[in-house]
Amino acid sequence: MKLRLGLRLLVIVVAGLFIAGLVRNVLRLWRSGDRLGQAEEKLESLRAENLRLKQQQQFLGSDVFFEQQIRDKLNMAKPGEAVVLLPPVASLQPTERESTEETLIETPVWQQWLVLFW
């Protein structure tokens, strides 16, 4: 009887170890599936970025970009064209009309009516 009880106990322990190992392997496979999904998402985003960079490289190597840079940075023009340089926006002084509109906006509406009629 003790032998049968010992044998049953041994079978239960071995089965428990087998089940624990099996559960551990299933969990590891599950996690690797999650990692595979994350790697596929990362691969897809990298492919999209690669495509965008190839398009950008193609544009930067084109004659259109080269001509645009010559016109914008070096202020050069084709024969027969004139280059117009405008002052920076910060250095422009507001015109008299703009300053009048600003003061009208700042004053109350009833005072604006008085100014309009008198």
Question: CA–CA distance from 94 to each of 53, 68, 116 (Å)?
Answer: 43, 31, 22
> What's the pLDDT band for 118 if we cut at 50, 70, 90?
confident
The 10s digit of each residue's pLDDT in 92-115 is 455 555 555 555 567 777 887 888
**What distance in Å separates the CA atoms of residue 4 and residue 9, rounded to the nearest whole number?**
8
Res 57: pLDDT:
94
Question: CA–CA distance from 25 to each of 5, 32, 33, 79 (Å)?
Answer: 30, 10, 12, 75
Average pLDDT, the chain: 83
**What distance in Å separates the CA atoms of residue 76 and residue 79, rounded to the nearest whole number?**
10
Contact call for residues 86 and 94 (beta carbons, < 8 A): no
